[in-house]
Structure 1
Amino acid sequence: MRREQLREPERPRIRRLRRTARAVVGCVAVGSVVFSPGGAASARPGPAPSGTRTTEPLQAATPRTPVERACPTHTVVSGDRLSQLALRYLGGADRWPEIYEANQPALRSAAREHPGPPVFGTDDHGHWIFPGTALRIPGPCPAPTRPAGYVPAACPPSVLPGVPALGTEFSCGYLTVPENRAEPDGRTIRIAVARLRAAAAQPRPDPVVWLTGGPGGSGLLDALTVTRLKPAINADRDVIFVDQRGTGRSEPLLNCPEIDAFTRKAVTRVATDPETTRNGAAAALACRTRLSGSGHDLSAYDTTENAADIADLRTALGIEEWNVYGVSYGTDLALQLLRDHPQGIRSTVLDSVVAPHLNLLEGLWTNAADQYGAVFAACAAQPACRSAYPDLRAEFNATVQRLDRRPLTVTVPGEGGAPDTTVVIDGYQLANMVVVAALPPWALTTVPAAIHALAAGNGLPAARTILAGQSPPGFVGWGLFYGVVCREQAAFTDRRKLQAAAAASLPDLPERVLSLLPQQEFVSRILSDCQAWDVGRADPGVSAPTRSDVPTLLMSGSFDGPAGTRWATAAATGLTRSRHLVFPGLGHAVFDQSDCARAILVSFLDRPSGGYDTSCADTLTVPPFRTD
């Protein structure tokens, strides 16, 4: 019987950069647009959301009057939403009530032709719109957005400072798109693209587009790792990697040295100290002030625009059909792409799933609780681990409580001439250490030993794991990170519900520990940071569930604290031709960690409608925990 294990590998810079920095869960908020089982869409009546998108003016720019045109009639197709149509034709998603009011007779007539239980207690089925209905768009309408254009270019000399260049098997270019599609005459930005050539002499016509996580990670950096993993995803298909807007080699890169500096200092302070939270918000404000002062429309860096970029890329490259792979936040992006721009999508693969219709901030501690339970149960099931740590859960809870009262300061020796690093471990840091252990692939098997060592006063193993979960300076495209998380999630989150959900999931942990969120450093205080970032909130339609019959493979690690299996299960409810596989003992980003997962993915791409081989998953077991 073949067993896959997580081994502590050599940790070259490329793999460490990629895994630690992209794995932040990109979260989106619950809103008020839902889809019908038959492909119809609805928009719940109500006022336009507060804090809707605002645009930072360009420096030295003069005000422009948008060019207007007569509005067309739109015939509804499956997947349409009123907010989406309002954005397309009227220039703002929050103008959807104008379309609804102008078409009430047609909408009521269509509703009567689709019998079913009323929704929200209205006689037109809760403002559902049905395929085939002709909608009059009230005018006038802004001029259409300029089409996106793709231009080949030399691949960048390096993906990031200190990281090698892409090899000759890649071709590169830039996609030019509007920064804000609601402003057709506004500024444009460039999206960096790298295409990995298929190994086969006659590749299949349907490439894979790779959507990385974060939000804010670099897809081109992922490309360097993917080329070394077997089975090769590019065996007979090209693979297209994208640096999403505001990230990597795309222009502009919205990075924040201010936040990078704070996250490095934060590990030297007590995490739950209110002063630490204030310092983090000050760093976010300083970066926001600098970026907006340069004319960037920070509210335009969100999943709605991001998904439109990806859809435009397929058209600009002349691709009839492609397969979409997303990991972590990339699954959120993939699901919104499938929902809002389904054209040309042959299949989807969702790895470490983020479901856009859930309030994910409220679910972070629930995911952590699931992870704790899975790890503790797996340790109890292994004789060596059970003998070494006979009551791991109780030891964990007691140590979290003790460290919450009396934090421990640990000195981590530097490697390769680097200076020593001080890490302060309080109760939150221990609770969060288990969660971030799902990011570097070597760390999960060390979790029980690290907890036991901390209980005995030795914090060095835990401190090493905490540092391994940090993103390298200069990596994260913070403009996209905050644009997505603040506009699509934090803006729709009630702090009281957040705290109640945390307490219900982990009643044995101190309230002060649960006052922060489990994730990498820049997620823990996201509500305070988002107040400083101040980009309003997205149209509630971003949280509409994705309903599709496109073949979809969902993959989760059973020890994935950042994403968890619940979100994948929730996402699958709307995907009628989907299958969810859980890989025992694996953490975040299953594709990276398992050659079985890669083999299943390649087989799925060949036969997405059925008959792909998943047999290797039946042989997998949780790898042994270290007890030395």
Structure 2
Amino acid sequence: MTADQIFAVLTALLAGEAAPEFQPLRDGGHVAAYPVTVEPCNLPLGTLEVEGQTVICGTVSVPESYDPPSERRVPLEFAILKAQTLAPAPDPIVYLHGGPAAGTLGSIGLVSNVLFPNHRRTRDIITFDQRAAALSSTSVRCYEGIADHIVDLVKVSREDPEAPDLGDFVAPCVDEILASGADLPAYNTANNARDVQALMRTLGYPEYNIYGISYGTRLALEVMRTAPDGMRSVVIDGVAPPTQKIYDDLLGPVVDTLDALLDQCAADADCATAYPDLEGDINRTFERLAKDPIPASRGAPEITADLLFDITFSLRNNWRDLRPITPYLPRIFHELADGKTDAIDAFLAMDDAGPAGRLAATPGLGEEERTLLRAALGIAAASAELDAGVTDVITRLRSDLATDTDAVSVAEAFEIRSTEAARALSDADAKAAMLRDYALLQTTEPARAPLLSWVDTHFAGSDQSDLRQLVLAMSDTDLSRTFEIADEQATIYELLLASKLGVEIYACQEDVPWNSLEGLRARMEEVGARFPFLAAEENVADVIATFEDCAAFTQSPREGFHEPIVSDIPTLVLNGTLDIQTSWRWGGVAAETLSRAHNYIVPEAGHGSIAYQPCANDISVAFLNAPDAVPDTSCLATLTPHFILPDGSMSGGAN
């Protein structure tokens, strides 16, 4: 962290005043048709964030349907992360999350600190949970069904082996949502696109840029088609074009990551000579391990097909774990095909080394380079320690200020005492009934009577007496806060189902009419002809379950939705070669009809390339600063991997 950042956060904490530029939002927003309500941020904020100063949260109310605007409204939860400059660019970045319906506000630290720290130096970052997603899913929740199964959902959250499958709740949940009057077909990508425009207008940004990842790329493309007014530029990263049958082709991106590896090795003379039949090595290895795993020994774990699958695909798509896996893979496959484990053991030995140790273990470094690296790592460790110390001071100051101003409220005392009383209930059915009724408090207006009824119904003796006294002592503010607490706690479990339901609202209404179980199985057969281990049923189990769940929905295909988007808005297209969710080939498909698009493939990057490669991050910053210029992408050439050869040297003469 910089001295300016530290000074800014300390000044904001001590001042305790709201940023004046946020005042129009506190007054209801810039467009009366889409009213804004500023609310406390219902999410974990970073240490250097000060609510009301560096970040503000709230809801924007939009119509459930736009054609014509319906009376029923959808509250969209948003957050604005202010630019870290006194002279920000007027056009912010709105980040469109994936999923669909994955939400983004629950991972605001990822948005600020991993995806967009460089972009935020000059621009505000706006992000929001899209309709039917996470915190914006309240208009399509099945409160009764969730309350009835709250114990089951608790089991799901704890990964209890006796927990039911979430798919069991989909059909009754859909029935309850429809009975509530919700227009489920209105929860679609076209209305999401209109939501983006409504949000930006009422937040006061007449011109803006979009950055979409995964489903967010599909939504960004739909904004370009449906509601393009105000769009200055677009970045789509990990592209899911509407022309692609993504459910039929679930395994396509996985195959394409292998093809990228095969192409890279074939283009490297040393790798091609050392591993002339890499595709055969891959298939022979998985076949061998499936039948005969290598036992744990050698100070190393058991080598199974599942472990190798994870190393080959999942680990390379984890931005939190950036071990250099790719250089090892050709040798790993070549050796394991013959039952040898030298290369995979060397890779697995890096497992607990941490980022510094992983860097120090980079293959091919000479002793002089390792000495320089150790010195640099020592400096970095000292800097991190200083940062940690500053963070502790800020955290302590924040806590002390809160302690000085906030006493424990009656509502919080009630929560503590009711938790104690709930734990004392020994009968499982009684506890389930208590939890059910507690979850349903969120559907009731805050008042003393329903709270007393809940206490009298489920508790007795001193527990009942103590809780009644607390309820009777509550002010209106305490009552409101008590019901808010009930809502917050129930929401934890509701979001488990909402995450699945939100995905299927879009998948079943928009995509499944264009995809099919038959199409999926046909693609599996094609994939299996080249890579038999990929065509296993368990690799597509989630999609098969989605097709089954879709029987609960009425399909709502929209004419033209799967047509290519034609636009002249400046667009940057990024695709990672390691991406197993959206193929690195798909970006080129989307770019074909975008007349001002730049399409780049990013080596050694997974789903959402800017989380993996600073090069991709820098390219996107440069593009957003000057969308009409051709970005300098020379750094991409440095990302192509070199490979470890059988003698331990690196291909291409690399150090």
* Alpha-carbon distance between aligned partners in 1 of 2:253 and 2:223, rounded to the nearest angstrom: 25
Structure number with bigger Rg: 2
Pairwise CA distance, 1:570? 0.6
* Alpha-carbon distance between aligned partners in 1 of 2:209 and 2:193, rounded to the nearest angstrom: 15
Unaligned runs of 5+ in 1: 1-145, 270-275, 411-422, 466-471
* Alpha-carbon distance between aligned partners in 1 of 2:170 and 2:340, rounded to the nearest angstrom: 34
Q: Could you give the per-residue CA deviations for residues 403-425 of structure 1, whole angstroms, max 9, x where no partner exists?
A: 77799999xxxxxxxxxxxx998
Pairwise CA distance, 1:259? 8.7
Residue 571 of structure 1 corresponds to 590
Equivalent in 345, 350, 373 of residue 236 of structure 2: 350
* 1:169 partner amino acid: T
* 1:178 partner amino acid: P
Compared CA separation, residues 536 and 165, structure 1 to 2 (3 A): farther
Pairwise CA distance, 1:349? 0.4
The question of whether the paired residues in 2 share the 8 Å contact of 1:516 and 1:524 is answered with: no
Pairwise CA distance, 1:220? 2.1
Unaligned runs of 5+ in 2: 1-31, 297-301, 352-491, 649-655
* Alpha-carbon distance between aligned partners in 1 of 2:56 and 2:215, rounded to the nearest angstrom: 25
Equivalent in 30, 49, 54 of residue 169 of structure 1: 54
* Alpha-carbon distance between aligned partners in 1 of 2:241 and 2:278, rounded to the nearest angstrom: 31
Pairwise CA distance, 1:479? 3.1
Residue 557 of structure 2 corresponds to 538
Q: Relative contact order: is structure 1 or structure 2 higher (C-alpha 8 Å, sep ≥ 6)?
A: 1
Q: Could you give the per-residue CA deviations for residues 573-615 of structure 1, whole angstroms, max 9, x where no partner exists?
A: 1100010111112111111112111111111111101144333
* Alpha-carbon distance between aligned partners in 2 of 1:261 and 1:285, rounded to the nearest angstrom: 20
* Alpha-carbon distance between aligned partners in 2 of 1:159 and 1:182, rounded to the nearest angstrom: 37
Residue 604 of structure 1 corresponds to 623
Select the structure that is richer in strand: 1
- 1:189 equivalenced with 2:209 (yes/no): no
- 1:148 equivalenced with 2:16 (yes/no): no
Pairwise CA distance, 1:204? 1.4
Pairwise CA distance, 1:492? 1.5
Q: Aligned to 1:507, what secondary structure does the other structure show?
A: helix
- 1:228 equivalenced with 2:113 (yes/no): yes
Residue 128 of structure 1 corresponds to none
Pairwise CA distance, 1:524? 5.5
* 2:615 partner amino acid: C
Equivalent in 83, 91, 100 of residue 198 of structure 1: 83
* Alpha-carbon distance between aligned partners in 2 of 1:305 and 1:557, rounded to the nearest angstrom: 29
Residue 633 of structure 2 corresponds to 614
Equivalent in 309, 317, 321 of residue 439 of structure 1: 317
Residue 375 of structure 1 corresponds to 261
* Alpha-carbon distance between aligned partners in 1 of 2:266 and 2:155, rounded to the nearest angstrom: 40
Pairwise CA distance, 1:371? 1.0
* Alpha-carbon distance between aligned partners in 1 of 2:232 and 2:511, rounded to the nearest angstrom: 29
Residue 70 of structure 1 corresponds to none
Q: Aligned to 1:205, what secondary structure does the other structure show?
A: coil
The question of whether the paired residues in 1 share the 8 Å contact of 2:100 and 2:133 is answered with: no
* 1:204 partner amino acid: A
Equivalent in 213, 217, 222 of residue 331 of structure 1: 217
The question of whether the paired residues in 2 share the 8 Å contact of 1:263 and 1:522 is answered with: no
Residue 494 of structure 1 corresponds to 516
Q: Aligned to 2:138, what secondary structure does the other structure show?
A: coil
Pairwise CA distance, 1:245? 1.4
> What percent of counterpart residues are identical?
28
Compared CA separation, residues 385 and 252, structure 1 to 2 (3 A): farther
* Alpha-carbon distance between aligned partners in 2 of 1:366 and 1:523, rounded to the nearest angstrom: 14
Pairwise CA distance, 1:388? 9.6
1:240-389 map, 5 Å: 240-252=126-138, 281-282=167-168, 284-285=170-171, 287-288=173-174, 296-378=182-264
* Alpha-carbon distance between aligned partners in 1 of 2:229 and 2:281, rounded to the nearest angstrom: 52
- 1:529 equivalenced with 2:549 (yes/no): yes
* Alpha-carbon distance between aligned partners in 2 of 1:409 and 1:245, rounded to the nearest angstrom: 49
Compared CA separation, residues 614 and 398, structure 1 to 2 (3 A): closer
* Alpha-carbon distance between aligned partners in 2 of 1:457 and 1:298, rounded to the nearest angstrom: 55
* 1:595 partner amino acid: P
Q: Aligned to 1:339, what secondary structure does the other structure show?
A: helix
The count of residues paired between Structure 1 and Structure 2 equals: 454
* Alpha-carbon distance between aligned partners in 1 of 2:179 and 2:304, rounded to the nearest angstrom: 37
* Alpha-carbon distance between aligned partners in 1 of 2:291 and 2:205, rounded to the nearest angstrom: 58
TM-score (norm 1): 0.61
* Alpha-carbon distance between aligned partners in 2 of 1:260 and 1:621, rounded to the nearest angstrom: 45
1:434-513 map, 5 Å: 434-441=312-319, 442=321, 445-446=324-325, 448=329, 474=495, 477-510=499-532, 513=535
- Judge which range, 555-564 or 491-500, deviates more: 491-500
Pairwise CA distance, 1:252? 0.9
- Judge which range, 326-335 or 151-160, deviates more: 151-160
Compared CA separation, residues 282 and 575, structure 1 to 2 (3 A): same
Select the structure that is richer in helix: 2
- 1:592 equivalenced with 2:478 (yes/no): no
Q: Could you give the per-residue CA deviations for residues 284-314 of structure 1, whole angstroms, max 9, x where no partner exists?
A: 4465456556665443332122112112112
Q: Could you give the per-residue CA deviations for residues 425-474 of structure 1, whole angstroms, max 9, x where no partner exists?
A: 878x9768744444313368447388689875999999x99xxxxxx985
- 1:212 equivalenced with 2:97 (yes/no): yes
TM-score (norm 2): 0.58
* Alpha-carbon distance between aligned partners in 1 of 2:533 and 2:546, rounded to the nearest angstrom: 17
* Alpha-carbon distance between aligned partners in 2 of 1:312 and 1:172, rounded to the nearest angstrom: 16
